């Protein structure tokens, strides 16, 4: 390799330069819109390509694949998917305040279904795009720059006549910055532009008399009206948007909550997420008012119906939706755009000022070019009129000349050398001719039918019209007021043809407050069978089925329906469950797996003990582990709201074998795997915090472990069966804690 091609540089410097170049390319040439036309490069190039291909609003649709391919080949070499996605968004009336492309076929919907492949869909320009975005491109009103391979020319900006950056909004992610501008109402924006042109000293507050706030295509309600002034002054902030809700009374006494408009951020897959969230409110017992949910949305509009119970409070339920679902959402505003070649976050005044300046620049170039054309036309017309007055002399010059050059020289300079004239007077008159070169060419190109009287009269009328146009164009260029009036007249025309009523309501709404129904506190009985299915039943139901309930279930105890259940596992965890989360009903109902209503995982841990939190608060709790570590813990330490906490501290490879509330028990009996039994008084167990390991309860052999724990009352005989032999626990020798115990021989 030639050494001259090797560039020696600091690695960090090269990386920094390369990253900055990449970042600026993304910021300027891809992700951010230009404040003048409100378009990103891919959007601008797609619209310009359609204009070049002649895919106008009054012509047949063309395949999207044709448009995408042509745009990618000529102007935007960044992949067909980005171009097609841009084209699709510009057709969607639920994303854009004013769609720029007329789509034919499946271009997706508000519920998040994507568009069909580009080979199936067709498109053409909207009428407004053609008239307001592309109309004056042939008048040299904007600069054209070379495309990526310098084989074509493309406009650096489109001569857009309306503030598209505000009307359609914009979203994009660049490097280290994002843009997020909400769409606005076309009529309001035009009124604001007109007011700003009349008085550029207007404050943001005064401009907001015209632009009330964002106007989302999905409608909805903006609820923080008072915060909009600061957002439009700084260009950043958060807009709170709610969906629109109506109530429908049914004949059966029930009420339907009908959502007819959704917040703008909910469009797409978030509608399905909203439906899931509403269903989850019912499943998690946040509300029991829901009877049915259905999405009845169609081409006519959004219609999500939630049927409520007869005794439900619809307004309170809607407040729950606002608080717990995306029916109330936030639109983050960051009005960032390219202004004068650099990214800038702008307030409303800065955006309008940039747009007005651009309108005047475009109008100046437009009418300067029109004036030049009309001036050129006037010169030709004056020459033709003058020629018609001396047409006989001109014919004589043409017939007497040897070639076109000789005749043209005579017309422009009065040179008669070599030309044959009929008389001396004709030569003298010809010598006095002083046509301009442009006039001479027009005379030489003139056809004989132009000498007809009516044609000469039409030429004179056309000349008068040209003079009027020149006077008008000079007035527009010389007086800013005249140019402003021309721009205003065009804006009024766009407002009249394309303006529409506001869709989004702007108001100050109070924060949604959901009042939970006060549940009447009652006594219920918790039942969990040996398969882990749990439920609650009424106390009277339990009393009628006491024997079966006690026989068929592993855990049975009373509790309050407003309380919590505490579930202790062999891994030392405490899982809490709201009693309201458990099914309440008939005795023979199956119940629900305890895994489904708690963080308990039956594959990784086993249930040791279950009781009510109310009962725990009144007692002490005994913990015993396989390695014979034990302690007493005050039950109040387990009065927690978290779904899962550590109930005790375990040594490595240890596990909990027993948890028990202390009621009237006086003695504890530990049984090991190898058949050792140790009975001692509960008073020997010290009280510790739940985070402590505890003390040793029994000396164990090298491979021995505590397997079972029993509790006895003084004076009450308690027996167990051990390897087919009946063992009276009360007859076991009373000993001290931390001794070996007695081995039972079989």
> In which element (H, E) is residue 18 found?
helix 11-26
Helix, strand, coil % (nearest 5) of the chain? 40, 25, 40
Catalytic residue among 120, 210, 542, 710: 120
Give the Cβ contact number of residue 38 at 10 Å.
25
Rounded CA-CA distance 443/408 in Å is: 9
Told to judge if 584 belongs to the known catalytic residues of this protein, a careful annotator would answer: no
Q: What are 433-439's contacts with CB under 8 Å, separation 24+?
A: 433/390, 433/393, 435/383, 435/386, 435/387, 435/411, 436/379, 436/383, 436/412, 437/408, 437/412, 438/376, 438/379, 438/380, 438/383, 439/379, 439/380, 439/382, 439/383, 439/384, 439/386, 439/387, 439/411
How far is residue 392 from each of residues 417, 422, 439, measured CA to CA in Å? 19, 11, 17
CA 163 from chain centre, in angstroms, equals: 23
Rounded CA-CA distance 412/432 in Å is: 10
Nearest alpha carbon to residue 313 among 509, 541, 513: 513
Residue 336 tokens read as 């960032």
Rounded CA-CA distance 63/186 in Å is: 29
Nearest alpha carbon to residue 297 among 277, 279, 274, 319: 274
Q: How many CA atoms lie within 13 A of 526 on its CB side?
A: 28
Which runs of E-coded beta strand occur in 490-618? 505-506, 523-529, 533-538, 553-560, 564-569, 573-578, 592-593, 607-612
DSSP letter string, 193-220: HHHHHH-TT--HHHHTTT--S---TT--
Nearest alpha carbon to residue 158 among 318, 288, 39, 332: 39
Residue 15 tokens read as 């990386």
CA 325 from chain centre, in angstroms, equals: 15
**Residue 47 dihedral angles phi and psi, to the nearest 5°:** -65, -40
CA 67 from chain centre, in angstroms, equals: 27
Residue 357 tokens read as 């300046």
Residue 584 tokens read as 């309440």
Q: What is residue 265's DSSP assignment?
A: G
Residue 186 tokens read as 């076309």
Give, to the nearest 10 degrees, the angle between helix 348-389 and helix 437-445: 60
Rounded CA-CA distance 705/699 in Å is: 10
Residue 715 tokens read as 């004076």
Active site amino acids = 120
């Amino acid at each position: 390799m030639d050494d001259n091609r090797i560039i020696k540089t600091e690695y960090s410097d090269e990386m920094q330069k390369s990253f900055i170049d990449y970042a600026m390319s993304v910021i300027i040439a891809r992700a951010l819109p230009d404040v003048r036309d409100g378009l990103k490069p891919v959007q601008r190039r797609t619209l310009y390509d359609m204009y070049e291909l002649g895919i106008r609003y009054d012509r047949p649709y063309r395949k999207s694949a044709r448009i995408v391919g042509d745009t990618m080949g000529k102007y935007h070499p960044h992949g067909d998917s980005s171009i097609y996605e841009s084209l699709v968004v510009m057709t969607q009336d639920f994303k854009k305040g004013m769609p720029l492309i007329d789509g034919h076929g499946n271009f997706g919907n508000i519920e998040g279904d994507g568009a069909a492949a580009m080979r199936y869909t067709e498109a053409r320009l909207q009428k407004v795009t053609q008239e307001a975005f592309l109309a004056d491109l042939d008048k040299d009103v904007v600069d054209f720059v070379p495309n990526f391979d310098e084989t074509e020319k493309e406009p650096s900006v489109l001569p857009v006549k309306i503030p598209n950056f505000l009307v359609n909004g914009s979203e994009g992610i660049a490097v280290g910055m994002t843009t997020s501008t909400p769409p606005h109402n076309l009529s309001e924006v035009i009124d604001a532009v007109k007011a700003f042109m009349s008085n550029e000293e207007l404050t943001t507050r005064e401009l907001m008399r015209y632009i009330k706030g964002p106007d989302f295509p999905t409608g909805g309600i903006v609820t923080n009206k008072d915060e909009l002034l600061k957002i439009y002054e700084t260009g950043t902030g958060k807009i709170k948007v709610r969906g629109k809700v109506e109530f429908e009374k049914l004949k059966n006494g029930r009420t339907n909550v009908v959502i007819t408009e959704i917040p703008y951020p909910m469009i797409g897959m978030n509608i399905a997420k909203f439906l899931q969230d509403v269903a989850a409110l019912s499943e998690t017992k946040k509300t029991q008012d829901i009877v049915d949910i259905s999405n009845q949305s169609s081409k006519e509009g959004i219609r999500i119906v939630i049927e409520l119970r007869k005794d439900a409070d619809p307004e309170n339920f809607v407040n729950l939706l606002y608080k717990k679902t995306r029916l109330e959402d936030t639109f983050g505003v960051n009005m960032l755009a390219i202004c004068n070649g650099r990214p800038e976050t702008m307030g409303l005044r800065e955006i309008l000022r940039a747009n007005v300046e651009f309108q005047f620049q475009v109008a100046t170039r437009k009418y300067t070019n029109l004036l030049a054309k009309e001036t050129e036309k006037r010169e030709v017309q004056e020459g033709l009129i003058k020629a018609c007055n001396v047409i006989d002399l001109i014919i004589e010059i043409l017939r007497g000349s040897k070639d076109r050059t000789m005749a043209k020289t005579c017309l422009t300079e009065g040179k008669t050398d070599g030309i044959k004239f009929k008389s001396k007077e004709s030569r003298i008159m010809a010598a006095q001719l002083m046509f301009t070169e442009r006039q001479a060419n027009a005379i030489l190109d003139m056809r004989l039918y132009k000498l007809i009287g009516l044609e000469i009269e039409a030429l004179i009328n056309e000349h008068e019209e040209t003079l009027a146009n020149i006077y008008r164009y000079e007035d527009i260029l010389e007086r800013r007021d005249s140019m402003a009036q021309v721009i205003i007249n065009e804006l009024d025309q766009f407002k009249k043809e394309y303006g529409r009523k506001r869709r989004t309501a702007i108001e100050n709404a109070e924060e949604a407050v959901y009042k939970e129904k006060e549940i009447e506190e009652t006594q219920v009985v918790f039942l969990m069978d040996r398969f882990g299915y749990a439920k609650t039943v009424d106390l009277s139901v339990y009393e009628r089925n006491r024997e079966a309930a006690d026989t068929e279930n592993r855990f049975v105890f009373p509790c309050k329906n407003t309380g919590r259940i505490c579930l202790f596992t062999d891994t030392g965890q405490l899982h809490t469950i709201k009693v309201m989360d458990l099914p309440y009903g008939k005795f023979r109902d199956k119940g629900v797996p305890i895994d489904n209503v708690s963080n308990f995982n039956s594959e990784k841990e086993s249930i040791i003990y279950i009781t009510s939190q109310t009962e725990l608060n009144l007692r002490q709790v005994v913990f015993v582990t396989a390695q014979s570590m034990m302690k007493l813990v005050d039950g109040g330490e387990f009065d927690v709201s978290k779904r899962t906490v550590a109930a005790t501290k375990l040594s490595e490879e240890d596990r909990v074998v027993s948890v028990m509330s202390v009621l009237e028990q006086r003695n504890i009996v530990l049984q090991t795997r190898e058949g050792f039994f140790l009975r001692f008084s509960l008073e020997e167990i010290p009280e510790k915090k739940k985070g402590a390991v505890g003390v040793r309860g029994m000396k164990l052999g090298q491979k021995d472990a505590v397997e079972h724990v029993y509790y006895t009352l003084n004076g009450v005989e308690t027996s167990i069966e051990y390897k087919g032999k009946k063992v009276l626990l009360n007859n076991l020798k009373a000993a001290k804690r931390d001794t070996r115990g007695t081995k039972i021989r079989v």
